[in-house]
Structure 1
Amino acid sequence: MTQSAISIKPSLAENTLTTIARSLVSLGQYNNTADAIKDMALTQIDAKITRYQEKIQQFENKYRINFDDFTQQLKNQATIADEDEWFEWEAALSMLKAWQKVRGAIQSC
């Protein structure tokens, strides 16, 4: 699927978020739309963080070591399957760090 096939127009996304936020404010769930949008974003970000933490934990449980030790263990003896696992584990760590950074930026707003 191409980037353009899955992209959403910014105005549509903004309008959708604003509509949802206004509804939540009118129901008394939030004091203002900014708080509602921030909370919705943090909820989604927290779900991503949890997902990647769980994925990392699965690898640590499977191999009974952390990523750095797994990397050392594979040097000069990795199979293709081992390399696939390494790339998936490394991607989970990278995405976890990225979402944690985004969370920090959103929280400080």
Structure 2
Amino acid sequence: MWMLQVIVLCVLAVAQAAPPQDKGLIINLNNGELCMISMQCKSSCCHRPTGLSLARCAPQAAENQECSKKTLYGTYYRCTCESGLKCEGDLSIGGSITNTNFGTCEDPKGKAATI
């Protein structure tokens, strides 16, 4: 019995000494990897092109690209905007349910400067 304990302790010591990996199996996924919800992706966007396709991690939408405001399911048909950008568009309860709340990524600072 104590031999089993020694083996378990050795395995745990080796696991703790191993360098951390940038890639995860369930979370911290890179773009292009299969996902179920956006929390799994480094980019925070689990994207599916159609309702019947597999969802994969994708980059966030850049300025002037189509974007989703919110989703109830954790996957998007259009990704959310990059940091500092705002998704301008209509937000509705029906759109949240059907995942069709699309808008366009805009820079709120650039919009205020042109007014």
Higher helix share: 1
Higher strand share: 2
- Superposition TM-score, scaled by structure 2 size: 0.24
- Superposition TM-score, scaled by structure 1 size: 0.25
Q: Greater relative contact order: 1 or 2 (C-alpha under 8 angstroms, separation 6 or more)? A: 1
